[in-house]
Amino acid sequence: MENIKAWADEVFDKIEKKLSRTAPAVGDTMFPYTTENGRFVNPYNDDWWTNGFWIGILWKMYLATDNEMYRKYAEKLEEKLDKVIEEFIFLNHDVGFMWLLSSVINHRITGDETAARRGLHMATVLAGRFNIAGNFIRAWNCAPDAEEHNAGWVIIDSMMNIPLLYWASRETNDPRFYNTATAHADTLLKHAIRPDGSVKHIMVFDPETGEYIKNITGQSYDVDGAWSRGQAWAIYGFTLSYIHTGKIEYLDAAKRIAHYFISALPEDNIPPCDFRSPKEPVYKDTTAGACAACGLIELSKVVPEGESDVYLNAAIKMLRAMEETCCDWSDSEDSILGMGTEAYHHGMKNVPIIYGDYFFIEAIMKLRGDKKDMLFW
Ligand code: GLY
């Protein structure tokens, strides 16, 4: 483990060098998403679900370095998200990703009351999406007269959004948020996980009766696919729900999904976009690898000592493989981790995506074991 810590320290030095250049270049002007010709760009609007990740990176760097520059940009960009709150119409299940990594971290680190209000406001929005007939938090939005109405859709990604509710319960000393989170997690526990430990992406319920109907393809290869980022959201998400609740069913679920993920990993230790897709074309997804690594490291801390290495070693193998073959430490590239893929059938393939950088940095910081580092989720 000493060697791993030394390796993580070395990688952290490279991260710090890169961020000391890119953070001032980005300033408070944008929320980086991917890169074009080596420079950060964001082809989406300010309401895009990933716009908290860069802010989360800035806060992680602030904690690790005490450099006020990171804090200043994180605070400014958080204010920029207020426009999205005011517009309201684009808020959906992803408010967890957006405001947990911005306002909630800000409040936890600095005690800022405005940030706490933003976090509680967004937790209320997330809880307000709960469908009492089916015990689930609805995914996305659509126009009331849309051809394909998605009021009964639920996605595995949401397991990473509900930590906002656990935080809100602690903050207000009101179990409603906690109860909403666990009711939703229990529904996914029942319907999202297949007997072999793989997870579905989108589950469809009848929004009136709450009855489970079927699952659909979503970002997977096909309806029976094993979309690797979905597996990663589930490993980390169920582990987090275990950490926040102590419910053993969540830990057992995280382990089962982790066993599937680890056994499906290819020889190069870098996940494909879907573990059940054909070998060609090659669509890799390092964002899945980095997120799964974070979940596996946390899982390794909560299982009995004798089981811990299975998860920790799998995480380390993926992180080392990604560092060796997918990281760009040069000044001609703003991002760190390349080879991320949005979805199997649509969107960008084999490109840097900001949440890949976020989870890679989070995983490296976990391996360093810096006392100031925090579990933000
Ligand atoms: N949460 C959307 C995605 O993972 O692409």
Q: For residue 306, how far is its CA from the centre of ligand 1 (angstroms)? A: 33
pLDDT of the residue at 147: 77
pLDDT of the residue at 288: 99
2 pLDDT higher than 90: no
Q: For residue 305, how far is its CA from the centre of ligand 1 (angstroms)? A: 32
Contact between 20 and 68 under an 8 Å Cβ cutoff? The reply is: no
pLDDT of the residue at 308: 98
- Minimum-distance ligand 1 atom for the alpha carbon of 94: 1
Q: Which of 157, 158, 236, 355 to mutate to test the pocket of ligand 1 (most atoms within 8 A of CB)?
A: 157
Atom 1 of ligand 1, nearest CA residue: 157
Q: For residue 148, how far is its CA from the centre of ligand 1 (angstroms)? A: 20
Report residue 81's pLDDT band, with 50, 70 and 90 as the boundaries.
Answer: very high
Please tell me the distance from the alpha carbon of residue 118 to that of residue 217, in angstroms, as a whole number.
34
- Minimum-distance ligand 1 atom for the alpha carbon of 160: 1
Q: For residue 131, how far is its CA from the centre of ligand 1 (angstroms)? A: 21
Residue 209 phi, psi (nearest 5) = -95, -20
Contact between 100 and 107 under an 8 Å Cβ cutoff? The reply is: no
- Minimum-distance ligand 1 atom for the alpha carbon of 343: 5
145 pLDDT higher than 90: no
- Minimum-distance ligand 1 atom for the alpha carbon of 155: 1
- Minimum-distance ligand 1 atom for the alpha carbon of 157: 1
Listing DSSP states for 206-246 in one string gives: -TTT--EEEEE-TTSSSTT--BHHHHHHHHHHHHHHHHHH-
Q: For residue 157, how far is its CA from the centre of ligand 1 (angstroms)? A: 6
The mean pLDDT value for 66-86 works out to: 98
pLDDT digits (tens, 9 = 90+) for 14-51: 999 999 999 999 999 999 999 999 999 999 999 999 99
pLDDT of the residue at 146: 84
Atom 5 of ligand 1, nearest CA residue: 342
5 pLDDT higher than 90: yes
342 pLDDT higher than 90: yes
Q: For residue 59, how far is its CA from the centre of ligand 1 (angstroms)? A: 22
Per DSSP, the three-state class of 162 is: coil
pLDDT digits (tens, 9 = 90+) for 283-329: 999 999 999 999 999 999 999 999 999 999 999 999 999 999 999 99
Atom 2 of ligand 1, nearest CA residue: 157
pLDDT of the residue at 281: 98
Q: Which residue has the tokens 């999205």?
A: 84
Q: Which residue has the tokens 């890949």?
A: 356
Q: Which of 155, 229, 236, 287 to mutate to test the pocket of ligand 1 (most atoms within 8 A of CB)?
A: 229
pLDDT of the residue at 286: 99
Q: For residue 292, how far is its CA from the centre of ligand 1 (angstroms)? A: 14
Average pLDDT, the chain: 97
pLDDT of the residue at 164: 98
pLDDT digits (tens, 9 = 90+) for 165-196: 999 999 999 999 999 999 999 999 999 999 99
Per DSSP, the three-state class of 204 is: strand
Q: For residue 68, how far is its CA from the centre of ligand 1 (angstroms)? A: 31
Per DSSP, the three-state class of 171 is: helix
pLDDT of the residue at 269: 98
pLDDT of the residue at 206: 97
Two structure tokens written together for 116:
């706490």
Residue 110 phi, psi (nearest 5) = -105, -15
Q: Which residue has the tokens 């900001």?
A: 354
Question: Residues with beta carbon inside 6 Å of ligand 1?
Answer: 157, 219, 229
Report residue 121's pLDDT band, with 50, 70 and 90 as the boundaries.
Answer: very high
Contact between 214 and 204 under an 8 Å Cβ cutoff? The reply is: yes
pLDDT digits (tens, 9 = 90+) for 196-253: 999 999 999 999 999 999 999 999 999 999 999 999 999 999 999 999 999 999 999 9
Q: Which of 44, 49, 93, 286 to mutate to test the pocket of ligand 1 (most atoms within 8 A of CB)?
A: 49
Report residue 144's pLDDT band, with 50, 70 and 90 as the boundaries.
Answer: confident
Residue 35 phi, psi (nearest 5) = -125, 150
pLDDT of the residue at 148: 79
Q: For residue 327, how far is its CA from the centre of ligand 1 (angstroms)? A: 21
Contact between 350 and 283 under an 8 Å Cβ cutoff? The reply is: yes
